[in-house]
Structure formats: C-alpha cells, structure tokens
Structure 1
C-alpha cells in the first residue's frame, strides 16, 4: 500500500484560469534534468472522490474536479503554496474503497 497526496480544485479554475500547464511543464523538465522519475499525475474527475470516505472533501470542491496526485508530499505542499482555492489531503491505496488511486470517471 502506498500513501498518495492530492491537490483538488475545480477543472475550470485549475485548467482554464490558472497558468497550471506551465507549472507542470516546468516541474516535468526539472524531473528530467535531475533524472527523477515522474511521481505526479493530473486526473480529471478523480474516482477516489466518489467513495463514502471522501464525501466531505468532494463537497468542498466545485465540480467537475481535477486532482494532482503524487507520492511526494512536499510537491503537493509546494503546489498548495502557489495556488489558491484548492483542497489538499492524502489517502492510502490500493484499498477496498480506493482500488485504483489514479482512476478517472472522465471519458475524455
């Protein structure tokens, strides 16, 4: 089992109103330069929000939501400091509630 950390926001905010693509591009470049394996993922309409244990978290975030999921807690903390209007947290997976941590309910 692995602990995953997430930053959650509305898709409109994170993907349209913020220059977030630039942040991801810079972070990816930095990882490649340091020969570090990518440990973060952007997941539209994350399935983990549909679990009963995440109902309160889902209620805090305008829908449709998007999540940045990472195994690096410091990366999520760094993102939270750069962005407003986001929710952060963590979960352990795979579990009975969250069998696939990076699963999406989005068809696009």
Structure 2
C-alpha cells in the first residue's frame, strides 16, 4: 500500500483563481531536467472523497472539488504554501474504500 498526499480545493479556485497551470508546468519541467518520474496528478472530482473516512474532508470542501495528488509529501507541503487556501491530507491506497487513488467522478466528454 502507498501513502498518497493531496491538496484539495474547489475546482473553481484551483483551476480558475490560482496560477495552477503555471505551477504544474514549472514542476514538470524541473522533474524532466532532473530525470525524475512524475509523481503528481490533477484529478477533478476525486473519487477518494467518497470513502467514508473522507466524509468530513468532503463536507468542508466546496463542490465540485479538484485535487492534486502525489506520493511526494514535500511537494504537497510546497503546494500548500504556494496556494495557501487549500486543504491537505493523506490516505493509504489501494484499500477497500479507495481502490484507485487517482479515480475521478467527472464525466468524460
């Protein structure tokens, strides 16, 4: 089982009010320069929020939500400092309640 760390906020906040695209592009470039594997993902309407143990987290976050999920806790801490008005946390996966840590409930168009 792997521990996944996340930054969570409303989709509107993360995708429209914050310069998230620029932040993720810079981080991707840094990883490529260092020949490091990408260990973060942007997930709209993350399914992990449906797990019973995440009920309090989901209740506090405006919906629809979006999350940046990573296996790198330092990256999530850095994002929290950069974005400020976001929730952070962690969860183990895969598990009975979170079989796919990167699953989304967003409809594919």
Q: TM-score interval w.r.t. the shorter chain?
A: over 0.9
- The residue that corresponds to 1:67 in the other structure is 67
- TM-score scaled by structure 2? 0.97
- The residue that corresponds to 1:30 in the other structure is 30
RMSD of Structure 2 on Structure 1 (CA): 0.6
For each residue in 1:4-58, what CA deviation from the matched residue of structure 2 results, as whole angstroms up to 9, or x when unmatched? 0000010000100111100000000000000000000000000000111100000
* Cα shift at 1:85: 1.7
Please list, as runs of the form range in 1=range in 2, the aligned pairs for 1:97-108 lying within 5 A after superposition: 97-108=97-108
For each residue in 1:59-98, what CA deviation from the matched residue of structure 2 results, as whole angstroms up to 9, or x when unmatched? 1110000000000000000000011221000000000010
Q: Secondary structure at 1:97's aligned position in 2?
A: coil
In 2, the alpha carbon distance for the partners of 1:17 and 1:107 equals 22
Structure 2: segments with no counterpart, 5+ residues: none
How many residues are treated as equivalent by the alignment?
Answer: 108
- The residue that corresponds to 1:88 in the other structure is 88
In 1, the alpha carbon distance for the partners of 2:43 and 2:73 equals 17
- TM-score scaled by structure 1? 0.98
Structure 1: segments with no counterpart, 5+ residues: none
In 2, the alpha carbon distance for the partners of 1:107 and 1:84 equals 28
Q: Secondary structure at 2:43's aligned position in 1?
A: strand
In 2, the alpha carbon distance for the partners of 1:57 and 1:85 equals 14
In 2, the alpha carbon distance for the partners of 1:84 and 1:5 equals 16
Determine whether 1:16 maps to 2:16. Answer: yes
